[in-house]
Structure formats: C-alpha cells, structure tokens
Amino acid sequence: MDNATVSLTLARALLDDPEQDWATDDYLRPFLNLAYRALAMQLGTYRIPFDDRVVILPALPAGTTDLGAYIQPGGPLAAMWQPVDLFERPSGGDDTQWRPMSRVSDLPPSGPQAYYEFWEYREGNIYFPPSNQVLDLRIRFEEIFPALAAPGDPIRIIGGAQALAYSAASLASRSRGNRDLAVDLDALAQREFQTMAVRLVQESQNVTRRQRPFRADWSHGVVPV
C-alpha cells in the first residue's frame, strides 16, 4: 500500500519543484486531502465496495434501539459513511448463528422481541426495534478515510497514488494562477481515475455476492429499500 509520500513526491515533480522551494509537504497536503476525498467520492458513484469495513459490536444491552453511542467521535462506528448490511446473533454465539437483518425505510411499531429483525438508517444513525435479549451486531459499512496528516500515512485507495498526485498538483497549480498547467494535470488525473474505475469494476464483477435476504412484514407496513 502506497503512502502519502509517494503522491507528494510525484506532485512536486509535476510542479517542477523537487527541491521543495515552495511545494513543501505542508503546502501540498491540503490539496492532497482534497484530492483524496474527491477520488473516494468519485469511486463511490460506481457502487464499488472499495472502502467497505466490517465491525462487530458485542453484547448490545437488551432494550437498545439505536447505535448513536457507537457512532460518536472515538466510537467503533465513527468512520461510517453509509451502512451496507447488518447481521445479529445471540451474544457470544458463533459465526453460524449470524442472522441477516432487513433494511426498511420506516420501522414497524414493535415491543421487545427476541431479535431486532429490521433496521433503518436516518439522520446519520441506525435504528431498530428493541430486543429482550443481549445481542451481537455485525455491521458492514462504507468508511470515511482519515485525512493524510503525515507523509507516512497510508493511502487507503489501492492504486490511487498517481491519480492523487495529478489532482493535488492541478489544485496547487490553480492556486498559483497557472491555469493551463492545472487543466493539463486535471486531464491526467481524470484519465488515471477512469483507468482505476474500469479495473475496480472488472474486479468487482469477478466477485460472487450472495443476494441479500428480504423478510419484510407487510402487515406492519414495512417498506423495503
């Protein structure tokens, strides 16, 4: 996995300042992070699971109805961008006991029951009906990558160092008034992005994915999403 130094060094070469007379790490890092976030957002539009992460929350107390406490800064879900799917099991169970939960757009009215069954995502939080037992949750979500704060920080987008260098150099050129160079570098960044996107799409097509189960209870007016 490449780190920020790879992109910063290439960006300086593109800006013809390998000696760091002005294109220092501190100067380029904000541009690199803008490029980093933009590249992740672009790839996200292709619905490719390049940034998926899985977290297990053990022993959620009976009666829990949302994950707000886990999404707070410093919590295990603080880096969650969008949830993808949830599974539940009795606390301390083995991997054969995971039960898929169904995502809905509006939770049905429900008193405490053995399992959550359903989940709803709104206002940056995950909600579900209360359970009368202690449960474990397994959550797969799209992750917000941390900013690149130091030269050794890893670039979490595999193969993205070159695209980030082009884009960061383009932004730096534009900030210094060199619009022609900025346009040329941005074109190179977009070409590199397209190459990455094609590769990632091809890789994702070679992965067999199990269709998510659907167990909505229409008697409660549950609407699948």
| Per-residue pLDDT at 204 | 66
| Per-residue pLDDT at 157 | 86
| Per-residue pLDDT at 82 | 87
Mean pLDDT value across the chain:
87
* CA neighbor of 23 nearest in space, from 35, 38, 10: 10
What's the half-sphere exposure (Cβ side, CA atoms, 13 Å) at 177?
0
pLDDT in tens, the chain (225 residues): 799 999 999 999 999 999 999 999 999 999 999 999 888 888 777 666 566 789 999 999 999 999 999 999 899 999 898 899 999 999 999 999 999 999 999 998 878 899 999 999 999 999 999 999 999 999 999 888 888 999 899 998 888 899 999 999 999 999 999 999 999 999 999 999 888 888 877 776 665 444 444 333 333 333 334
The CA distance from 224 to 213, in Å, is 11
pLDDT digits (tens, 9 = 90+) for 4-55: 999 999 999 999 999 999 999 999 999 999 999 888 888 777 666 566 789 9
The CA distance from 142 to 3, in Å, is 21
The CA distance from 140 to 123, in Å, is 18
CA pseudo-torsion sign 191, 192, 193, 196: positive
| Per-residue pLDDT at 156 | 86
Q: Torsion angle of alpha carbons 174, 176, 179, 182, nearest 10°?
A: -50
Burial class, 20, CB count within 10 angstroms (exposed 0-12 / middle 13-18 / buried 19+): middle
| Per-residue pLDDT at 210 | 45
| Per-residue pLDDT at 48 | 61
Cβ neighbours of residue 55 under 8 Å, at least 6 residues apart?
A: 76, 77, 138, 139, 141
